[in-house]
Structure 1
Amino acid sequence: MSEKKGLASLAGAPDQSMFKLLGQVRAMSSSRDREQMTLRLVTAMRDVLGASEVTLYAVSASPKGPVGAIVAVARPDHEQVANEDEDHPPVALHEDAFLDGAIRSSDGVAESNTDGIYRLALAMGDAGNPHALLVARCDVAPEARVRDAFLHVAHFYQNQLDLLDYAELDTLTKLLNRKTFDENFDRFIASVGRAQQTDPERRQQDDLAARPSWMGVIDIDKFKRINDTFGHLFGDEVLLRVAEVMKHSFRQRDKLFRFGGEEFVVLLRNVSEADARAIFERFRTAVETHEFPQVGQVTASAGFTRIDPVLPPAEMLGHADEALYFSKENGRNQVNCYEDLVARGLLEGPKQADNTGLQADIDALFD
């Protein structure tokens, strides 16, 4: 029978482990990169606990119970942040009684099972509804103060992420803000470029890596009229609800930004054009059928374009804007792909297109 207990009551550890842990904490505190901080966390826990594996999961809800997506893993021979270019099937956390219990605990739990495996787990975020779960597996139970340090370092990591969130997230919608777009887009572009430079034969074997990536621009239809008719408080409520619909409609690895006002930008990774269109259509339909108190029905339009690492970011954003403009000009509440519109002769190609004043035209049309 497994034995569970709160980690907060545990105590005792060698000085060498504590010094090693302090070094990792110092490195973590000096980083402003979310991925590097996450890598430091799982590496620190592996080294200090002498763990055979440390895994950080992003936790989300499912009809059957909480599931986890692997964010980072550290084992004795290597550590890595999950590759966003790969699909990782969700882990059914609710099917493991220990992990399910850890999700519902605010203090963390420990277990020694009959197989001789010792596990520690700590949920991060709201009690009972965490956004992450840190799990360590050890062949030998660590000393008490080391186990206690696991809890405190994980909380330190969470506090650092909260500071990053304050700087990187839009205060109203909690989507990524405009300020973080450049950094995220540069990283996104670099990833797409690496995939394209991969050996063609290997890309052919790796179906996922061979798929393109996309940038989409979304705008709430007639949003100015909503503000003018119902007031800015209801306008903010519409923005909040649309942002929530976005979080549920797009995939966990997609990047969602509030660009300002009622405009949003989405970065989709490794999907065919048909699947990209289906994802945007899923979002469009979800907004159209969502109940907005007082306001009634709200719709959104979108335009998207293929990511090409050779093109300047402004040009790709302009292509997505042109597709969005077409959606707005031709009835709103629809999704269009720039490349498809060009192929059908409905938009001029990039060499002939004159984007001067395009954003002003779009703004005027949205009013």
Structure 2
Amino acid sequence: MNDSAPTDRTGDPATPDLAPAWWRWLVLAVAAAGLLVVAWACLTEWGGVVHGHPAYAVLLAVTALGGLLVVWRARRALPRRRGWRRALGIALLVAGVAWVAAVAWLRPLSAVEPALGAMRSDAAVTVTESATRIELSPTGGTSPTGVFFQPGAKVDPRAYAAVLRPLAEAGHTVVITKQPLSIAFLSVGAFDGARGDYPDVERWVVGGHSLGGVVAAIEADDADEDADAPAVGLLLYASYPAEDVSDSLSTAVASISGSRDGLSTPERIEESRADLPADADFTVVDGAAHAFFGDYGTQPGDGTPTISQDAARQQISAASVEFVDGIDEALGD
């Protein structure tokens, strides 16, 4: 058995063909960035990570494991890659950078008070939470009209507990869905899945905030003529449909917006009148910003409010209850 070291053609020991040191450090930097992003998300938005859809927690775990594996693999000099292997290595590095950036961008906005307090059950409302939804159920008489709600992008679903709780106190079952990665477009179909789980709810108002409202409009438009548990209302919080549903949507519509919204601006809300049925009801909360439709702190790009969030929340909740109760009255319940 020959235990001698490999040699080149001259008989001298072969020099390992290694990648440049800067490449190794670049790979390590991307891996370290991934680990730092995981730590940052967990330390700053732990509530949103734990109480959101489990998809983001899984994404963080995969990122952490991948980062640790890369660090372990790169603890020694890396071999030089040539040809297609080199191209693959570059592609993987670029993909790693994009992955880390996406994980950072998807960091949720965690719920704050009074939403956290509204997540507790009392004599009027029972609150239950699962991996995919939050349910606010009235303990007394229950209306046949339920409310299914799509949160805004990257927002902890618990953030809407306080603003929607008055609907449950008024007798309406409220279901807040948890979207994969907190993106509403990844939750298309959640309404259909929820309807079968609530046989006592005969009809639904589908609502949503911001991007969640865009998806809510799609879901309401698809379900407004269903024979079983149809959509009878569309409740938009600082939102508008992505396309014209003025002729296809047969439900009642309520659009509630803020005059100081820097994202779903008053101009965009006004323009959405042409895309909604002619009898859609528009309510503008004077002085309210985009983030006032949930309790999750400030939001980048939002406007500067001129009223308190408590005052805005009270108006939003009151308009919501009036809208849903009005549907019951119109249908004779």
TM-score by length of 2: 0.28
Higher strand proportion, which one?
1
Pick the structure with greater CA Rg. Answer: 2
TM-score by length of 1: 0.26
